[in-house]
């Protein structure tokens, strides 16, 4: 029982700690909008802030409502992730891991919103001048978590179909 609770919690904490440590590193070593080329013509570390959501959604909106809205959405998402985790943890370790990654990423960005009023982004990938929106470790955990969740759902659906065929 203890192990079944500590591993998900540790996964979430690990994502939050790595996310926050990398953000502190960037904010203490870079000036806002400063960029350092890491892989020429492909990857930079660029310190930016995002007051909006994923890919800068609502980044230009003004007012306290935006800040409250994003905090409320993050808390609601965490609530639903807890419910989802309780439902899938027995069905699949992969689905459980995916939800923990998503939750860790949500908490990491929530910490920024509460503490700073914005999210720190710094991973800047691009090809021939076309930049992907900058992101951070929390965003990466969410993306990997969603990808694993979709893959897990597809795998579970295939497995359930195979089991149903075997029963007929």
pLDDT tens figures, 59-101: 555 566 666 777 778 788 888 888 888 777 666 788 889 999 9
**Residue 147 is inside which H or E element, if any?**
helix 137-167
pLDDT at position 148? 93
Closest alpha carbon to 35 in 121, 142, 132, 102: 121
Parallel/antiparallel/unpaired status of strands 35-39 and 119-127: unpaired
Task: Look over the chain and give the mean of its residue pLDDT values, rounded to a whole number.
Answer: 84
How far apart CA 109 and CA 121 sit, in angstroms, is: 10
pLDDT at position 69? 75
pLDDT at position 45? 98
Assigned token pair, 135: 């992101």
Residue 114's DSSP bridge partners are none
Is the model's pTM score more than 0.85? no
pLDDT at position 65? 61
**What is the extent of the structural domain holding 153?**
2-167
Catalytic residue ranges: 121, 139
Burial of 59 (0-12, 13-18, 19+ CB in 10 A): middle
- Residues in the chain, pLDDT under 70: 1-4, 52-67, 89-91, 157-168
Assigned token pair, 71: 């905090």
Question: What is the number of domains present in the chain?
Answer: 1
């Amino acid at each position: 029982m203890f192990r079944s609770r500590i591993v998900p919690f540790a996964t979430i904490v690990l994502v939050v700690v790595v996310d926050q440590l990398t953000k502190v590193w960037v904010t203490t070593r870079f000036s806002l909008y400063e960029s350092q080329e890491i892989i020429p013509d492909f990857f930079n570390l660029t310190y930016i802030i995002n007051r909006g959501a994923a890919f800068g959604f609502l980044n230009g909106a003004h007012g306290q409502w935006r800040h409250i809205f994003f905090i409320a959405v993050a808390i609601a998402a965490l609530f639903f992730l807890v419910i989802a985790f309780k439902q899938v943890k027995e069905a699949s370790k992969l689905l459980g891991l995916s939800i923990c990654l998503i939750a860790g990423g949500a908490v990491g960005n929530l910490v920024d919103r509460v503490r700073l009023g914005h999210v720190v982004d710094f991973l800047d990938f691009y090809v021939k001048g076309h930049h992907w929106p900058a992101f951070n470790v929390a965003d990466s955990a969410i993306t990997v978590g969603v990808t694993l969740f979709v893959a897990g759902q597809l795998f579970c659906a295939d497995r359930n179909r195979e089991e149903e065929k075997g029963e007929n």
